[in-house]
Amino acid sequence: MLSVLNISFLTTSLILIILSGINFYFIVHAMNTLAYWFNAGSYAWLGPYGGGKQWVRNHVTLKYDYSNENVELVATSFSLVAGLLGVLGFWATRKVSHQALQ
């Protein structure tokens, strides 16, 4: 017999797994989109110099440091593992409760 606590535990764990998957998708999609549309490299741009009286050509180097995204991916991995452990815990308690009833 399932209690309200077991059902809420399972529901919370499943929601955590779903949200973790969505978060993984959004993070990886954003990283790939930025890398595709704004390639890392050296870019030239024309900008004002000296109070806007003169325009000069400057070079900017664009590099990606994915340290923030890596932290988010690790946090999402932990939440995914917590959700999976919650589902496993639900099935383990369900199996134990069935054995106790017999």
SS (H, E, C) 33-101: HHHHHCCCEEEEEEEEECCCCEEEEEEEEECCCCHHHHHHHHHHHHHHHHHHHHHHHHHHHHHHHHHHH
Q: What is the pTM of this model?
A: 0.73
Q: What is the pLDDT of residues 63-93, one digit of tens each?
A: 888 899 999 999 999 999 999 999 999 888 8
Domain extent, residue 71, equals 4-101
Distance CA 102, CA 100 (A): 5
Total of domains in the chain: 1
Q: What is the pLDDT of residues 1-12, one digit of tens each?
A: 678 888 898 999
Residue 102's pLDDT band, with cuts at 50, 70 and 90, is low
